[in-house]
Amino acid sequence: MVALKRFRATGPSFADLVPYAGLVDNGVLLLKDGSLMAGWYFAGPDSESATDLERNELSRQINAILSRLGTGWMIQVEAIRVPTVDYPTPDKCHFPDPVTRAIDAERRAHFGREQGHFESKHAIILTYRPLESKKTALSKYIYSDEESRKKSYADTVLFVFRNAVREIEQYLANTLSIARMLTREVRERGGERVARYDDLLQFVRFCITGRAIRFACPKCRCISTGWQRLSWNMA
């Protein structure tokens, strides 16, 4: 018999290195250290046509919004380039004369024929790591009513995270064009099957692999300790 022990890899695998555990709510990703993650795609005003005063004021407003988060939060801002083949169809273009219509038709043909067309997408990711349960148990019984004491620690953390995310989204919507990364249902096979595609998981996969491949969420539950009752049923 051949001794295979020296050929076996004993170090951590890729699955051990990535911190993601599973979905616990629509648009909320649980990490292995107990943190919660949510994200948005966003677009700001045209910075090229804005004055220095306008750019500074926009930065001030965004900084004031994010500073409301306090401790325990991490903010990531990402810019990604994704391939695109989308070009407005002729029925959606309204050029007043034959010359501009001919220019548009030439650009449409070039856009559909050539490779290497990309568009930029910007994302903001919020990650919240709550205090350990034992550190907050005493304050929970001192400052909370009897009904709230019946809730599990996971319930409380998810409730706090949802409220904070909703508040930040409301404030950011006043200064930026944002779209929350959520799970969306799509009917396939002529409506016979309902598939779920999660924007946040899609974004994480793209950041890891660099490939913008659409994939359906598996029909399973997140069974991480402490979150089983809150797990979002993907089936």
Check residue 10 and give its pLDDT. 73
pLDDT band of residue 234 (cuts 50, 70, 90) is very low
Average pLDDT, the chain: 79
Check residue 126 and give its pLDDT. 93
pLDDT band of residue 124 (cuts 50, 70, 90) is very high
- 36 bridge partner residues: 30, 128
Query: Domain segments of the chain: what residues?
Result: 18-209
Q: Which has more confidence, 75 or 149?
A: 75
User: Is the pLDDT assigned to residue 83 strictly greater than 90?
Assistant: no
Check residue 1 and give its pLDDT. 56
Range in 63-72, 138-147, 203-212, 213-222 with the lowest mean pLDDT: 138-147
pLDDT band of residue 169 (cuts 50, 70, 90) is very high
User: Is the pLDDT assigned to residue 225 strictly greater than 50?
Assistant: no
Check residue 227 and give its pLDDT. 44
pLDDT band of residue 139 (cuts 50, 70, 90) is low
Q: Which has more confidence, 145 or 227?
A: 145
User: Is the pLDDT assigned to residue 149 strictly greater than 80?
Assistant: no
pTM of the model: 0.70
Mean predicted confidence (pLDDT) in 119-139: 76
Report pLDDT digits (tens) over 191-224: 677 788 888 988 888 888 877 777 777 765 544 4
